[in-house]
Chain A
């Protein structure tokens, strides 16, 4: 169907650039005039206090929200906005802050759903269980099993995800996003609500996904320790405005960031 298009990028090239994006709901400005870029192969963190506009930013990138101003450059192509399924077919996958899984389906089916865009067989052949269509299905299944092994969720593959504990749901959701073989993976608070051990596991999966699959990752996270350990570069938002951008060490020492987190009056 639609293969990811555009030029082949080398590691370190700009994969996605947010340029002067502003977004408001009614009179409320969620994001004002924010610019930053995400380079191929890196782990990019977006941090900031509550209400800083981080999730809004992610929603702009994957097409859930359409910015009033500014544009997004993705793989060298400019666009003001796109529909979510277009973003997905372009190679952007995401997870959600409050886990959005297909609750009635098993873990396996959830991750299989991530392969939707990569299935090409006509539904008619699939219904007839026709040879080539079945081989394609088997090939997708093999890739999904790889991801299941990677995330160490073999035991729960047949369990409807609604019954799984929260930490495992987050893992299945990551699996579904990885099954899309995205070029850019957006993670909205992948460690929210987890205990220390679960956080460590999840950090390991994020790092491994980045190493092993070479996936570029943009993540929102509140846990500063996690952010400092994982990310290559960090962008800091506060009240919808970008206040800092740089390596974890640079950002950590930035006075504006310290003020934002400690709540100095603006």
Chain B
């Protein structure tokens, strides 16, 4: 009886009696979830356009952040380093199209998936070779990102909000809105959806697959850079971050592989869910739940809604 009370009643009583802690946890969860969502967004962009499940997306986040910090450490001014990093992400997109996608066109999906494994280890090795393996500190000050926290006295307690997290939320929202408009309203966006549906048909109306692939990989690279900056600011910039990047997988299962809104909502659900679980239910089993909770949510979804919240149901006329 006591245990049932602790599981089903007590957490909600706590939420009610200490609303400030509840809101604080909610906010923390949202910020974490937003970063998961951004990584998942990179996956979705590439998967939609080329049908490739890009295992390297998480590493691209680290690689982008590492390049930015590495260039700055080498004496390049911060904003020039940012511009150069964007150029490097374009270079990666171009090289991936040339060296990976083009030679493997029309190969089974699993081959392309394996190729992105290769890309992952290439980026890790190359990144460590050029910039060294030590954890680095993100150059938030030099990029004029705000620091410190604002505290509000509210709900009978204190809620503290990192300014950096607010900046991350604002910039991420602008970027997502921009991408959404780009993909729904422009010629290139329409071409991208066309490529996702049928390569042969897209070619026949004059869409160049090569160009579209470079564009989506570059878009995914930019998303990776933004993610890398804010993630790097919360911890160190090192390849250890890729463990967190794996959290994008449950997000994708939740949101569906092909849906941009799905990636965002999925990210928020996972982020908030995992923080709430850890804070209110974690102590019952000794804590440390955020390492596995996301995957359990994903498993439950796989059982009941395998195409995800927003995934396309496959419509097939028989």
| Interface 0/1 of A88-104, CB less than 8 Å to B | 11000110100011111
Q: How near does chain A come to B33, taking the closest CB pair, in angstroms?
A: 27
Q: How near does chain B come to A106, taking the closest CB pair, in angstroms?
A: 11
Inter-subunit contact A123/B188 (CB<8 Å):
yes
Inter-subunit contact B198/A105 (CB<8 Å):
no
Name the contact of A127 in the complex, choosing from B178, B190, B206 (C-beta under 8 A). B178
Q: How near does chain A come to B185, taking the closest CB pair, in angstroms?
A: 6
**Complex Cα spacing A96 to B208, Å:** 18
Q: Does B191 contact A (CB under 8 A)?
A: yes
Inter-subunit contact A85/B315 (CB<8 Å):
no
Count of A residues near B, CB < 8 Å?
Answer: 36
Q: Does B317 contact A (CB under 8 A)?
A: yes
Inter-subunit contact B204/A104 (CB<8 Å):
no
Q: Does A180 contact B (CB under 8 A)?
A: yes
- List of B residues within 8 angstroms of A121 by Cβ: 187
Q: Does A81 contact B (CB under 8 A)?
A: no
Nearest B residue to A88, CB-CB: B206
Q: How near does chain B come to A112, taking the closest CB pair, in angstroms?
A: 7
| Interface 0/1 of B182-223, CB less than 8 Å to A | 100111111101101110111111111100000000000000
Name the contact of B205 in the complex, choosing from A114, A129, A165 (C-beta under 8 A). A114
- List of A residues within 8 angstroms of B185 by Cβ: 126-127, 129
Q: Does A116 contact B (CB under 8 A)?
A: yes
Q: Which of B181, B201, B202, B317 is packed against the most chain A CB atoms within 10 Å? A: B201
Q: Does B109 contact A (CB under 8 A)?
A: no
**Complex Cα spacing A102 to B205, Å:** 11
Q: How near does chain A come to B43, taking the closest CB pair, in angstroms?
A: 18
| Interface size band for B | 20 to 34
| CB-CB contacts below 8 Å: B150-191 with A | 178, 181-182, 185-191
**Complex Cα spacing A104 to B181, Å:** 18
Name the contact of A96 in the complex, choosing from B189, B194, B204, B207 (C-beta under 8 A). B204
Inter-subunit contact A160/B198 (CB<8 Å):
no
**Complex Cα spacing A93 to B205, Å:** 7
Nearest B residue to A173, CB-CB: B201
Inter-subunit contact B201/A85 (CB<8 Å):
no
Nearest A residue to B191, CB-CB: A116
Inter-subunit contact A117/B206 (CB<8 Å):
yes
**Complex Cα spacing A114 to B206, Å:** 8
Inter-subunit contact A160/B191 (CB<8 Å):
no
Inter-subunit contact B200/A104 (CB<8 Å):
no
Nearest B residue to A91, CB-CB: B206
* Known A121-B187, A126-B186, A127-B181: A85·B193 in contact at CB below 8 Å: no
Name 13 interchain pairs, CB-CB below 8 A, sorted by A.
A84-B206, A93-B205, A100-B201, A104-B193, A112-B190, A113-B202, A121-B187, A123-B186, A123-B188, A126-B186, A126-B187, A160-B315, A180-B205
Given contacts A88-B203, A103-B198, A165-B317, 17 further A-B contacts (CB under 8 A): A84-B203, A85-B208, A88-B205, A89-B206, A94-B204, A100-B204, A101-B198, A102-B197, A113-B191, A114-B205, A116-B206, A126-B187, A127-B178, A127-B182, A162-B316, A163-B317, A177-B204
Q: Which residues of B contact A (CB under 8 A)?
A: 178, 181-182, 185-191, 193-194, 196-198, 200-209, 312, 315-317
